[in-house]
Chain A
Amino acid sequence: MSEITLFYLKFLLLAGVYTLLGLLIRALVRDLPMPGKPASEPIPQAQDAPGWWLAVLQGQERLEGRSLRLQEELLLGRAPECQVQVNDPFASARHARLVPRGEGVWLEDLGSTNGTYLGAEVVKGGVMLPEGGRFSIGDVTFELVKRA
């Protein structure tokens, strides 16, 4: 083999090694949990139906600015069974729950690791939230809205 062929073979081997690493990285990335794609699309609701609504103020790109109607108990957390999927690193699997109760909404922390906050205050057990009440889980902030 000529010198020149040998010279190119050197790069061919390096290219081979890197192609391999590329294949391995692709396989690795494919196994990562991807954001987006909720388990099931939320049922479309009229945006102006009266009653309690839960609005996402900030923190989660996919949900930001959207609101969800609060008719019965809502579960917040990372687990698939939660109606409100909070994909924040500080959220627990079953983080908190919201129960509408006529004049207010009952917010209950379900023993989360990093806590549910009202401003700077940690929610211990449960608390009754009035209209316009704000709370946050990790970096996600929610607001309760009442539509007449």
Chain B
Amino acid sequence: MRARELGLLAAVLAVVAMALALATRSPEFRGPPPWIWLVVQASAWLIASLVLRWKKAAGDPLLLPLACLLSGLGWVMVWRLDPTLGQRQSLWILVGLLAFILTALAVRDYRRLEDYKYLCLVCGVVLQLAVMLLGTEINGARLWFRVGGMQFQPVEVVKILMILFLAAFLRRYGRWMRLGLLSREGRLPRRALLLLGLGWLAAEGVLILQKDLGMALLFMGIFLTMFYMATGRTDLVLVAGFLFVLGAVAGLLAFSHVRVRVYAWLDPFADAQNTGYQMSQALFSLGWGGLFGTGLGMGEPNRVPEAATDFVFVALAEELGFVGAVAILIAFMLLVTRSFRVAMRAPDEFGTLLAGGLSVLIAWQSLILIAGTVKLIPMTGITLPFVSYGGSSMLASFVILALLTRISARREEPC
């Protein structure tokens, strides 16, 4: 099993090296390609794989290579867009891998996490409220804390805490939510309605106070999918989803910031020099890429504002073309499929819900972001897991990967 992981990692790193060699042709690339960073990164990935094997903590052998492919291509693109950010991104990947190893070793038995569910809830809510009230406002959305020169996006931590809480809570109370109201028994499912009501309030609160549609959408998506996984109640999920859409439309009518984003989405060219600038540049960038792209380092993805963070997918699509963009989508798909497999094979219900929640998180987050950058839905301020530039996002993605690895490792070892 392990030999397969190492082999796949080596193949992935070879492709990343090739991408790096090609990307050096860009005018933003001053000096020789950062081969040293590539070597350091490659050894870090291999060491992570070996340490886990040595400590008998190794899990699913496909998760690590898939994450390596996504973060490798993202890193090459970020470096190609801006070598300063690229250098920081290399550091973040190393820190992320360290966090991966530490999490995988520290969480020897993930079932212990279930005992901390209310701690997770309180921490998550406090962090979220803090950033909503005290955070720095960038581009009209309050998602960041600024400490010194560093920015920290607490939502990356909040989402993991929330999934831990929901998995533990639904494991405990999910079975009572399966009955009532429209199903077999006439009773009102009070617990389920209360939980759904609170979740709805939280999502609308995020939308109104934080002024970010994507965040609210991500929260509601994870919440409803996990609720469905635990209870199988299609009726309640549909009703809650409908109410969320209603609330979102009301929010759109009431708040000018959200409205600006929606108008920029509906017709970016109406105000192409101002509010629609980013979106119209992104559309030109996508169109310029065509089927096979301009070739790495040959395009001009820097014309799109925030190309390294929010619009990294557009930058990749311009230089690798439609075919390359589809390859990235496939990589995400495989990662999600594989994580769902971890969920289905988990030995207990908490493991299933936790791994399922984390897979759903990766799925929704990449879906919402990519859909936002290609003008399928309004643009949002969340990042693409593993690919985008950003420390908090990179760290969170690696912690998620470690938890998934831990859950998949569970069945191999005697309890």
Contacts and interface: CB of A to CB of B under 8 A. Distances in A.
Nearest to A32: B341
A16 B295 contact: no
B293 interface: yes
B-side binding surface: helix, strand, loop or mixed?
helix
A17 interface: yes
Interface stretch (A4-12, A41-49, A73-81, A116-124): A4-12
Interface residues of B, number: 32
A7 B22 CA distance: 11
A-side binding surface: helix, strand, loop or mixed?
helix
Interface in B385-413: none
A14 B323 contact: yes
Interface stretch (A23-31, A64-72, A97-105, A127-135): A23-31
A9 B338 contact: no
B345 to A, nearest CB: 10
B62 interface: yes
Interface string B33-76: 00000000000000000000000000001100110010001000
A21 B323 contact: no
Contacts of A18: 327
B270 to A, nearest CB: 35
A148 interface: no
Interface in B1-55: 4, 8, 11-12, 14-15, 18-19, 22, 25
A9 B11 contact: no
Contact of A10 (B22, B66, B327): B22
Nearest to B345: A31
A23 B4 CA distance: 10
A14 B324 contact: yes
A13 interface: yes
Contacts, number: 65
Contacts of A19: 11
Given A21-B327, A21-B330, A25-B334, A12 B18 contact: yes
Contact of B295 (A6, A20, A21, A31): A6
A13 to B, nearest CB: 6
Nearest to B341: A31
B383 to A, nearest CB: 22
B8 A27 contact: yes
B22 A9 contact: yes
Contacts of B341: 31
B8 A14 contact: no
B18 A28 contact: no
B324 A17 contact: yes
B116 interface: no
10 pairs of A and B residues whose beta carbons are closest in the complex: A10-B295, A16-B15, A17-B327, A21-B330, A20-B15, A14-B323, A24-B334, A13-B18, A16-B18, A20-B11
11 contacts: A10-B22, A10-B292, A13-B22, A13-B296, A14-B320, A16-B14, A16-B18, A18-B327, A21-B327, A24-B331, A28-B337
Interface of A: 6-7, 9-14, 16-21, 23-25, 27-28, 31
